[in-house]
Structures are given as C-alpha cells and as structure tokens.
Amino acid sequence: MKKAWLGLACLAVSAGAMAQSNVQLMGLADAYVGSVKMAGDATRANKMGTGGMTTSWFGMRGTEDLGGGLKANVAFTGFFRLDTGSQGRFNGDNLFSRDANVSLAGGFGTVMLGRGLAPNFLPTVLFNPLGDSFGFSPLIIHNNVNLGTRFARNNPSDTGWSSEVLYSTPTMGGLRANIHYALTGVAGKKNIGGNLMYAAGPLGLTAYYERDQLTNPNTSVFADGSTKTVWMLGGSYDAKVVKGFVTYGESKSSLATTPKQTTFSLGASVPVGPNGKILAAYANSKPDNGNRRQTTTVGYDHFLSKRTDVYAMLMNDRLTTFSSGTSLALGVRHRF
C-alpha cells in the first residue's frame, strides 16, 4: 500500500512539473506560382517560388515557469525552401538562422542570449502592410535584398544577429524598447542597436538604429572594413476602413566612396469583408550619387481560416538607367 501511495505521489509531482513546462513544434509553409522580373533583369522567370509573403520556417519553442513571475524560454527555428525542400533561405544558410537562443523573462523584461532578431526587423515588418514579405513588400525588399550590383540593400547585416545579447523592456504605457549587442571573436568589432515601438489605440510609432561592423548569420568583418549605420522612423494609423503606413530612413557607410542612401515608403491595408484585405505599398530609395529605385505592389490576401490564407500580388520594380520589371504571383500560406 505504501508503495502504491508513493507511486501516486511521484506521478502527481511529475504531472505538476510537466504542467509548468511547455514545448511546441511549429512553423509556416508559403509557396506561390508566378512570373517574376525585377528591374534590370535580362529575362523573366516563370516559376514556383517559396516564401512569397513569409519565409517558410519550422522549429520548436519551449518555456518553463520558474515561479515568482520568472520564466525560462528557448527557441530553435530555421528557414527552408518549400519548392525544393532545401535548408535555409539560400545555399549556405545556417540550420537555425531564424532563432537559436535561451532567455529569462519576468517583470524586469526579457534577457536573451544567442541568435535572435536584429533591431531593424520588427519596425520594418510591423510598419508596412505586407509584413515580412521578402518576395513582394517594397520596404522589405529595399531594406534587405540586394539586386545584384545594381542596388545595395539598406540593412547590411541581416534581419537577425548571431552571438547576441538582447534586452527587451516590459511594455509601459504602450511603449516598449529593445537593446541589441552582438559579440564576436574579432577584437574591437561589434554590432549595436536598438528600437522603440509604441502602440495606443489606432496609432503606432517606431524607430530603430543600428551601427554594424559584422556580417550575419556568420559573423565576420565587412569585406571593405567599413562601419555602416542605419536608422528608420515609422508610423501607422488604423482608421478601420483603411490602415495607413509611412516610414523614412537612411543608411550610410564610414567610407566616403560609398553613397548615403535614403528610403521613403507609403502603404495601406483595406479590409474587404471579414476575411480579406487589399494591400498596397510603395518604396523609393535614392543614393546620393546613384540610381533611384521605386517599387510598387498591389495585392489581395484572403484568409480561409485562422491559419491558412491565399494571396495574389502584382509588383512593379523600377531602377534609373535600367529596364523596369513586373511580377505577378498567386500563393498559399499555412501556419502550423
């Protein structure tokens, strides 16, 4: 009888411990078919693409309640290409280039160690109507995607930083902040930055700043040995019938031979019934002494359920002295 009671007690303790911990397997799959031609491309690509609206990813997150309002969290998530099943966003991308970190969270905020978001990511994603679309969001494309030698992206060091210490404040009166510091084995070289985000009722405001000396996801100094700085201001207003977005930013290098580049963007999201949205966005980037790039996207996103949506996007891309390009895509996105 004593053994039986002891066994039941052990089961109860085990169940209680399990109730304090939670591990989730999760991810997102996004694929589209379309015809893609960017400014200056010699030919048009008719293809199946991956990550049109969101880069496909999978992985796990875990949390443990330590008591007293303190929690421990881990995250291991990586990107993949749905058209081929290949790992990463590109050949050579790391397995867990989206997240690879451990953190402690409580009333003081959150302290994270490992690979996590760069300062530029959340402000850019939250303040344009197409979110984290590396395929069709003009602001995301201008900030994060090189166009061969024709156009240099604004953010030089990826949307995530490796070997990072990140402190996130609690939300106070609608305002929260993140402070980022990326360590490295290279003496005297580091990435530092931060962002602010404010949300109260229909109004949203943001700002970020980065001072970058290291590449990502694998940290090494920039090939030209430069220090690059990037900043952006943004705002949004939800009037119910339409939500508007605006941003303005600048990127520059410590090298006098590299031109400063400014980027301005506008966007709108218009609800259509309970499940659809018309999305429109425009970005204009101008180097001090180079080609101006203008990209415009108009599309429709329709949710079939909370986890699955289908989309149609039309994008026009223009770059001074090069031929323009137009892209059309139809896709599906599913969260699991």
pLDDT at residue 8, as a whole number:
38
Percent residues over pLDDT 90 in the chain: 88
Place of tokens 């109860």: 12
Three-state DSSP class for residue 303: strand
Query: Cβ neighbours of residue 326 under 8 Å, at least 6 residues apart?
Result: 37, 314, 315, 316, 317
DSSP state of 22: E
pLDDT digits (tens, 9 = 90+) for 95-147: 999 999 999 999 999 999 999 999 999 999 999 999 999 999 999 999 999 99
* 217 upstream amide cis, omega within 30 of 0: yes
Residues of the chain with pLDDT under 70: 1-19
DSSP for 159-201? SEEEEEEEEEPPPBTTEEEEEEEE--SSTT--EEEEEEEEEET
Give the residue carrying structure tokens 């990435």. 191
pLDDT value of residue 9: 41
The domain defined by 44-335 folds into: Porin (2.40.160)
Can you give the pLDDT at residue 2?
43
pLDDT (0 to 100) of residue 13: 42
